[in-house]
């Protein structure tokens, strides 16, 4: 039987089958600590945001494109052969079902079958078993580390308007409201000698930046 300790580290997804569609292109990274986790999912066809330097640079079209991303963080709870990803931070509005799946090995592929929603995902470990595993609360968010990688999740500062998806919630909003809507950070990066370098993020201007938190905020 698979346990939480078997899942520690960084995972990428090669396949999603759900609602009659097949997705093999979305860039997905899931970092699992001892219990805390974070997950970032970005469509392969996102536009080029290299011109963006700050939140205020985002146009309405930029915000609508970013609203297609997914990302979340929280605590993974094991109950027998099922696992529930309890989300305390979510880039998208809450879904109609809980995120619960059954996990099993098929060779070196970790296969996840949905319990409350019908889906199948194939996961692949990126690198070996991670150590150390640490997590820390930060202002309005959470920081999780597994080995040489980390993920940082920060909630948006405004409440979400009604909508089944962030794209639906964005309909009819002006530029300022759209910027506030997408201002939720889920970032993935590497722990290096030069600092904690962000490699991917829901906020494009954060890519290439060093994560800066005070020692009072993070005790690693």
pLDDT in tens, 16-59: 999 999 999 999 999 999 999 999 999 999 999 999 999 999 99
Band the pLDDT of 215: cuts 50, 70, 90.
Answer: low
pLDDT level of residue 162 (50, 70, 90 thresholds): confident
| Percent of the chain whose pLDDT exceeds 90 | 84
Angle CA 211–165–114, to nearest 5: 90
Q: Is the pLDDT of residue 204 over 50?
A: yes
CB atoms within 10 A of CB 147: 18
The pLDDT of residue 220 is above 70: no
Cα–Cα distance, 123 to 77 (Å, whole number): 18
CB-facing half-sphere around the CA of 34: CA atoms within 13 A = 6
- pLDDT value for 217: 52
* Domains of the chain: residue spans and CATH: 4-206 (2.40.128.280)
Of 1 and 219, the one with more pLDDT: 1
Please determine, for residue 189, whether its predicted confidence score (pLDDT) is greater than 90: yes
Q: Mean pLDDT, the chain, as a whole number? A: 93
Residue pointed to by tokens 């920081």: 143
Residue 171: pLDDT over 80: yes
Mind spelling out the 3-state secondary structure of the chain? Answer: CCCHHHHCEEEEEEEEEECCEEECCCEEEEEECCCEEEEEEECCCCCCCCCCCCHHHCCHHHHHHHCCCEEEEEEEEEECCEEEEEEEEECCCCCCCCCEEEEEEECCEEEEEECCCCEEEEEEEECCCCCCEEEEEECCEEEEEECCEEEEEECCCCCCCCCCCHHHHCCCCCHHHHHHHHCCEEEEEEEECCEEEEEEECCHHHCCCECCCCCCCCCC
How far apart CA 194 and CA 210 sit, in angstroms, is 8
């Amino acid at each position: 039987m698979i346990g939480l300790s078997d899942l520690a580290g960084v995972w990428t997804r090669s396949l999603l089958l759900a609602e009659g569609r097949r997705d093999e292109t979305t860039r997905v990274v899931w970092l699992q600590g001892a219990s805390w986790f974070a997950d970032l999912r970005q469509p392969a066809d996102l536009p080029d945001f290299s011109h963006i330097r700050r939140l205020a640079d985002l146009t309405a079209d930029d915000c609508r494109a970013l609203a297609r991303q997914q990302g979340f963080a929280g605590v993974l709870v094991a109950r027998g052969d099922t696992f529930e990803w309890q989300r305390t931070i979510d880039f998208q509005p809450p879904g109609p079902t809980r995120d619960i799946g059954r996990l099993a090995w098929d060779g070196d592929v970790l296969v996840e079958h949905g319990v409350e929603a019908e889906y199948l995902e194939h996961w692949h470990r990126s690198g070996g078993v991670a150590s150390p595993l640490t997590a820390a609360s930060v202002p309005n968010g959470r920081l999780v580390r597994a080995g040489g990688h980390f993920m940082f999740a920060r909630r948006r500062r405004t409440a979400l308007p009604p909508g089944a998806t962030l794209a639906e919630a964005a309909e009819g909003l002006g530029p300022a409201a759209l910027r506030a809507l997408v201002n939720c950070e889920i970032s993935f990066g590497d722990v290096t000698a030069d600092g904690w370098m962000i490699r991917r993020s829901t906020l494009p201007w954060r890519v290439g930046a060093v994560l800066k938190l005070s020692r009072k905020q993070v005790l690693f």
